[in-house]
Amino acid sequence: MSIMLVPLATVKAFLEIDAAKTDYDSLLVTIIKYVSGRFETFLNRKLQKAERTQYFDAGRTKYFLEAFPIDSTASLTVTLDDTTQTVNDDYWVWPTLGLLRFDYSTSYTEPRELCVTYTGGYAITDTAIGISGISTVTETVLLEVPDDLAFACLLQTTFVFRRRKDIGLSSVSMPDGSINTIFAAELLPEVKRILMTYRKIPTDY
């Protein structure tokens, strides 16, 4: 399912497009979904809140989950070699980091020996919107997304929208010289700086 880090209405307001004007709605929704999906890949984590089950090879003390923040109100089950582990006794949880940490190096005998079932990610809201030429489209917008992460998506979306006719253009030549430009689909420098603060460092499973 495609996700959106910012709602269509926010992007239209930023672009100063009248809310009643729907000519670009379909295109903007497509770009928002593209940018949001690209962010998710770059961040190396799942952003949409859902219950998930992950398997890990044992043999270390720290295990990073693919979707966070972890919902501490939902069920969290950790089994090691088919034995249920006890939170705050066998292991500890850092919800905002998606981290489980044991105070000892878990024994390793075979792959996928550690199993974690949990709920993590940002909650979603589905809103039905009308788009010109399309009867009904559903926005799957993530809630509780940090403001700077949503702003990064807003910046990148509006940049792609405004530069959509310049795909492939890298420089502009003029009589007095040339100007280098950022590729229309490239992540903006400020956007990259924001994303790096939320990126999950790839780890072996």
Q: What is the pLDDT of residue 142?
A: 81
Per-residue pLDDT band at 125 (split at 50, 70, 90): confident
Per-residue pLDDT band at 56 (split at 50, 70, 90): very high
Read off the pTM.
0.82
Answer yes or no: is pLDDT of 168 > 90.
no
Other C-beta atoms lying within 10 Å of the C-beta of residue 90:
16
Burial of 4 (0-12, 13-18, 19+ CB in 10 A): buried
Other C-beta atoms lying within 10 Å of the C-beta of residue 79:
14
Mean pLDDT of the chain: 87
- Return all residues near 175 (Cβ < 8 A) that are at least 6 apart: none
Mean pLDDT on 154-180: 73
Q: What is the pLDDT of residue 144?
A: 84
Q: Which residue has the higher pLDDT, 154 or 182?
A: 154
Q: What is the pLDDT of residue 107?
A: 86
Q: What is the pLDDT of residue 205?
A: 46
Asked if 53 contacts 116 with a C-beta cutoff of 8 angstroms, the reply is yes
Q: What is the pLDDT of residue 15?
A: 97
Answer yes or no: is pLDDT of 134 > 60.
no
With residue 4 as reference, give the H or E element that holds it.
Answer: none
Between CA 25 and CA 32 the distance in angstroms is: 10
- DSSP label at 31? H
Asked if 144 contacts 23 with a C-beta cutoff of 8 angstroms, the reply is no
Asked if 156 contacts 194 with a C-beta cutoff of 8 angstroms, the reply is no
For the record, the structure tokens of 16 come out as 């100063």
Q: Strand, helix or coil at 179?
A: strand
Other C-beta atoms lying within 10 Å of the C-beta of residue 46:
19
Mean pLDDT on 95-120: 93
For the record, the structure tokens of 117 come out as 């079932």
Mean pLDDT on 49-54: 96
What does the pLDDT look like over 184-205, one tens digit per residue? 678 999 999 999 999 997 665 4
Q: Is 121 left (phi over 0), alpha (psi -120 to 50) or beta?
A: left
Q: What is the pLDDT of residue 170?
A: 56
What does the pLDDT look like over 59-91, one tens digit per residue? 999 999 999 999 999 999 999 999 999 999 999
Asked if 8 contacts 130 with a C-beta cutoff of 8 angstroms, the reply is no
Answer yes or no: is pLDDT of 182 > 90.
no
For the record, the structure tokens of 51 come out as 């219950």
Q: Using alpha carbons, select from 118, 125, 112 the residue that is nearest to residue 100.
A: 118
Answer yes or no: is pLDDT of 28 > 60.
yes
Position of tokens 């040339």?
178
In the chain, % of residues over pLDDT 90: 67
